[in-house]
């Protein structure tokens, strides 16, 4: 069972809505979907969780697919999106995403759950999996915001700017934080990068292949 699997199970039993469990669809995403002409309307969500973003896309007539490493999340998403939806229980750092297939790849509050080398490699694979002209919508947490908030100050720094919480629901799950310059560099293959940051220090990265 993964750490997030336990979080979903606790929530099902009436426990707290940890982190994104209490969030709706980000308005930036709604805006992006509204203003973009997606030719294929084929989307892939990395760390789909309860499937809320994919549900929104389904309502806009997208074909949707996703992965998550929590069995419970996949079960919840299948119930919500329909059994025939292409949802796979998999670790995002190992999963072979089909190449040149999607015109939208999204990942909200997920990609940072590993060390930076793995995240970098995953972003390269995401690029390869997009059809030409395809778009990414990805969040990564900001390092300056984290340092100011001191949220991880008592946790273990296992690599530069990568922390392992020593207590709480996400105990033992790596969290990597990024500077603006690092984000520019990680996403340098993409065209037209647009960055914005929200009130909890999450960078939203939108870019095109």
- Within 10 angstroms of residue 120's Cβ, the number of other Cβ atoms is 12
Q: Does 113 bind ligand SAM (CB under 6 A)?
A: yes
Least distance to ligand SAM, CB of residue 131, Å: 22
As a whole number of angstroms, the distance between CA 129 and CA 208 comes to 12
Q: Which residue is nearest to ligand SAM (CB)?
A: 49
Closer by beta carbon to ligand SAM, 92 or else 126: 92
Query: Site size for ligand SAM, by CB under 6 A?
Result: 19
In contact, 69 and 92? CB cutoff 8 Å: yes
Distances from the Cα of 85 to the Cα of 27, 38, 98, 129, 158, angstroms: 25, 20, 16, 19, 37
- Helix, coil or strand: residue 162: strand
Q: Does 108 bind ligand SAM (CB under 6 A)?
A: yes
From 69, 129, 162, 176, residue interacting with ligand SAM (rule: CB under 6 A): 69
Q: Does 10 bind ligand SAM (CB under 6 A)?
A: no
Selected range binding ligand SAM among 29-37, 56-64, 104-112, 198-206, rule: CB under 6 A: 104-112
For ligand SAM, the binding residues in 141-200 under the rule CB under 6 A are none
Closer by beta carbon to ligand SAM, 1 or else 188: 1
Selected range binding ligand SAM among 31-39, 68-76, 127-135, 141-149, rule: CB under 6 A: 68-76
For ligand SAM, the binding residues in 28-67 under the rule CB under 6 A are 47, 49, 52, 67
Distances from the Cα of 132 to the Cα of 110, 142, 184, angstroms: 24, 29, 20
Least distance to ligand SAM, CB of residue 132, Å: 26
Closer by beta carbon to ligand SAM, 42 or else 77: 77
Nearest by Cα to 137 from 52, 67, 189, 195: 195
Question: Virtual CA dihedral for 168, 170, 171, 176, nearest 10 degrees?
Answer: -120
Q: What angle do CA 36, 39, 45 make, to 5 degrees?
A: 75
Locate tokens 């990395």: which residue?
46
Binding residues vs ligand SAM (CB under 6 A): 2, 4, 19-20, 47, 49, 52, 67-70, 73, 91-93, 108-110, 113
């Amino acid at each position: 069972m993964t750490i997030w699997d336990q979080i979903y199970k606790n929530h099902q039993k009436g426990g707290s809505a940890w982190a994104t469990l209490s969030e709706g669809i980000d308005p930036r995403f709604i805006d992006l979907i509204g203003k973009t002409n997606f030719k294929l309307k084929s989307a892939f969500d990395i760390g789909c969780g309860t499937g809320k973003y994919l549900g929104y896309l389904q309502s806009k007539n997208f074909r949707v697919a996703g992965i998550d490493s929590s069995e419970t999340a996949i079960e919840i998403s299948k119930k919500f999106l329909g059994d025939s939806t292409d949802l796979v229980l998999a670790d995002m750092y190992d999963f072979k995403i089909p190449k040149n297939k999607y015109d939208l790849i999204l990942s909200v509050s997920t990609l940072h759950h590993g060390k930076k080398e793995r995240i970098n490699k995953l972003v390269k694979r995401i690029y390869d999996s997009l059809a030409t002209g395809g778009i990414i919508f990805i969040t990564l947490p900001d390092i300056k915001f984290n340092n100011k908030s001191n949220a991880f100050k008592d946790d273990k720094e296992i690599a530069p700017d990568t922390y392992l919480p020593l207590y709480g629901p996400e105990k033992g799950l790596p969290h990597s934080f990024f500077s603006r310059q690092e984000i520019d560099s990680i996403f340098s293959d993409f065209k037209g990068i647009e960055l914005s940051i929200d009130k909890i220090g999450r960078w939203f990265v939108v870019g095109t292949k």
